[in-house]
Amino acid sequence: MRSGRVRRLISSGSPWESTFGYSRGVITGDTMFVSATAGDGEDVYAQTRDALATIEKVLTENGFRMGDVVQSRLAVADFDHWQDAARAHGEVYSEIRPAFALVHVLPFVDEAILVEVEAVAVRAGA
C-alpha cells in the first residue's frame, strides 16, 4: 500500500549518480535525505567545510535550511585528522546540534577525497 507521499529526486549532475544509482538528495514529505557529499580542498578541514557548504546549497535550493538538519554523519578516511573534520562540523552545527555520527572509513574510491558528510533535514514546523 502506498502512503501517497511524493518522492522527489534531486540531482547534482554528477556522472556518479547514474553509475551508482543514487541521487544527491531525496525529498519525501517534509524530510530531505542528502547523500554522502565530498568537498574540495587540500586538507580534511577544508574538504569538510566545502562539503557542508554544498549540503547547505542543496538544502536551500529545495526549501530547507541548515537549521532543519536533524541528523549528520561525518565519514573520515584519515582518522589521524578526525579532529579537523569535527572542528569544521562544529563550526557549522554548533547551535543546530543534530544527532551525529563520526565514522572511520576505508579510503574512498577517489584517493583525493578525505571526508564525506551526509545529512537528514526535516522542515521546521513539520
CATH of the domain at 36: 3.30.1330.40
How many C-beta atoms lie closer than 10 Å to residue 70's C-beta? 14
Domain hosting residue 77, numbered range: 7-122
Name the percent of the chain lying above pLDDT 90.
80
Residue 1 inside a domain? The answer is no
- Which pLDDT band holds residue 125 (cuts at 50, 70, 90)? low
How many domains is the chain built from? 1
Task: Identify whether 82 is part of a domain.
Answer: yes
User: What is the pLDDT, as a whole number, of residue 54?
Assistant: 95
Kindly state whether residue 2 falls inside one of the protein's structural domains: no
From the number of C-beta atoms within 10 Å of its C-beta (0-12, 13-18, 19+), residue 34 rates as: buried
In tens, the pLDDT along 82-97 reads 999 999 999 999 999 9
